[in-house]
Amino acid sequence: NRSILLVSRPKGMPIQDNFKLIEEPLPSIRDGEVLVETIYLSVDPYMRGRMRGIKTYTSPYNLNEVLTGGVVGRIVESKNKRFEIGDIIEGRLGWSDYSVSNGRNIRKVNPNLAPITTALGVVGMPGLTAYFGLLDIGKPKSGETVVVSGAAGAVGTVVGQIAKNKGCRVIGIAGSEEKNEYLEKELGFDATINYKEENLREALKDKCPDGVDIYFDNVGGVVTDHVMYRLNFQARIIVCGQISEYNSEEQAVGPRVQRFLLNCSALMKAFIVSDYSERFSEGYQYLGDWVQQGKLKYRENIIEGLENAPNAFIGLFKGENIGKQLVRVKAE
Ligand code: NDP
C-alpha cells in the first residue's frame, strides 16, 4: 500500500522534498471498519494551512504521517453494516492506495446521478462552499454586480454560475487568457479580468461601471485591495479564501479596508464551509440537480498517479488548473 507523507513543512512555495512516497503492507480491518480503495484524490488550497503546523480551525498535519484529504473510493472489504463491497464513497481519507475507515468520515455517493469525480468538486466541498457563501452571505439580487476572484477554480466557477442564475452581472478575475475565455464563452460570465496582465484599477473601473455589490474573495492580496475601491453602498464581501497569502512567511499589512467598508456601509464576512454542515444535504441536492439539468457546468483537471499528488497540489499555487484539480489513483 503506497502512501504520501509530509516530511518537512514548506517554507514559501511547497516543493517535492516536503513529501515522501512510502510503501507498507495492506492494513487489515476490525469490526465496524471498511477498507477503501482510492480512485481519486482531491488536492485543495486549505491543505497548505494545515502544513504550517499551527492550529487553525482544523488541526495541523503531523510530520511523517500520511497526508489526508478528500478521496473518492470503492469499498473493497466491509465489517460495517452500512457499507457493502463495491459501494462508492467520498470522505476525508489518506493519500494512499488503500485506507481504513470506521464509516463516520465517509458518505455514499450514487454513481448513477453524476460522474463520481463531481463528489470532490462541483457536487462536493468546493460546490458547497460556493453555494453557501454566495447565497447565505452574499444574498445576490437580480441586476447586482458580482465580482469573483480565483474565478476559474473549483469554487469560483460555481460561484459565477449561481450568480448568473440569480440574474446578476458577473465579472471573473483569473490568471490567464485561456481561463478567461472559458469563463466567458462556456460559463457565461459577462466579463473577465486577467490579474496578471491587466491594470486592475482600470480594468475594474471599465468592467464594473456600476460598482461592485458582491465580492466573493478567493485570493486576497492586491486583487482584493483593488476591488475594495469599487464597492457600492451596502456591498457584501464574502471572505472565502486568501490563496495569494498562503505561501507567505510574512505577516501581511493590508490597506485600511475598514474605511472603504464604512464609506459604503458594507458587510465583510468570512466563513468556513463546515459552518453549514447541518445544511449539506440541501446543498448536495441543489448542486446535483443543477448538474443533471445541465445548468451547472464544470471542468476537472486530472493528473495520473498517486506519486504525482504533490505536483498536483503545488500546481494549485501556480494556477495550473482550470476547474477542480484531481489525482487519479486507480481506474474507475
Ligand atoms: P482553485 O481551484 O481555485 O485553485 C487555486 C487557484 O488559485 C489557482 O488555479 C490559481 O488560479 C489561483 N491562485 C493561485 N495563487 C494565486 C495568487 N497568488 N493570487 C491569485 N490567485 C492565485 O481552488 P479552490 O476553488 O479549491 O479554492 C479557492 C479558494 O477558496 C482558496 O483560497 C481556498 O482556500 C478557498 N476555500 C475556502 C473554503 C472555506 O470553507 N472557506 C472551502 C474551499 C476553498 P489563477 O490562474 O487565477 O491564479
pLDDT digits (tens, 9 = 90+) for 149-189: 999 999 999 999 999 999 999 999 999 999 999 999 999 99
In the structure, what pLDDT confidence band is assigned to residue 58 with cuts at 50, 70 and 90?
confident
Place of cell 458518505: 107
| Parent domain of 67 | 2-121+299-328
Instruction: Name the residue of 219, 238, 303 to mutate for ligand 1: max ligand atoms within 8 A of Cβ.
Output: 219
150 lines ligand 1 (CB under 6 A): yes
pTM for the whole thing?
Answer: 0.97
CA atoms within 13 A on the CB side of 312: 26
Residues 267 and 133 in one domain: yes
Distance CA 149, CA 227 (A): 10
How many domains is the chain built from? 2
231 lines ligand 1 (CB under 6 A): no
Q: Is the pLDDT of residue 255 over 70?
A: no
pLDDT at 247: 95
Burial of 171 (0-12, 13-18, 19+ CB in 10 A): buried
Would you state the cell numbers that stand for residue 258, as one nine-digit string? 475598514
| CB burial string 214-235: b at 16+ within 10 A, e below | bbbbbbbbebbebbbebbbeeb
317 lines ligand 1 (CB under 6 A): yes
pLDDT at 147: 98
pLDDT in tens, 185-221: 999 999 999 999 999 999 999 999 999 999 999 999 9
Q: Is the pLDDT of residue 252 over 80?
A: no
243 lines ligand 1 (CB under 6 A): yes
In the structure, what pLDDT confidence band is assigned to residue 249 with cuts at 50, 70 and 90?
confident
Report CA(317)–ligand 1 centroid distance (Å): 8
Q: What is the mean pLDDT of the segment spanning 286-304?
A: 96
Overall residue count recorded for the chain in this entry: 332
321 lines ligand 1 (CB under 6 A): yes
Place of cell 448538474: 291
172 lines ligand 1 (CB under 6 A): no
Residue % of the chain over a pLDDT of 70: 99
Atom of ligand 1 nearest to the CA of 244: 18
Residues 131 and 258 in one domain: yes
pLDDT at 254: 65
Residues 102 and 236 in one domain: no
Report CA(150)–ligand 1 centroid distance (Å): 5
Q: What angle do CA 147, 151, 153 make, to 5 degrees?
A: 155
Atom of ligand 1 nearest to the CA of 154: 25
Q: What angle do CA 83, 106, 131 make, to 5 degrees?
A: 130
Q: What is the mean pLDDT of the segment spanning 104-109?
A: 96
Residues 42 and 74 in one domain: yes
316 lines ligand 1 (CB under 6 A): yes
Residues 137 and 203 in one domain: yes
Residues 142 and 232 in one domain: yes
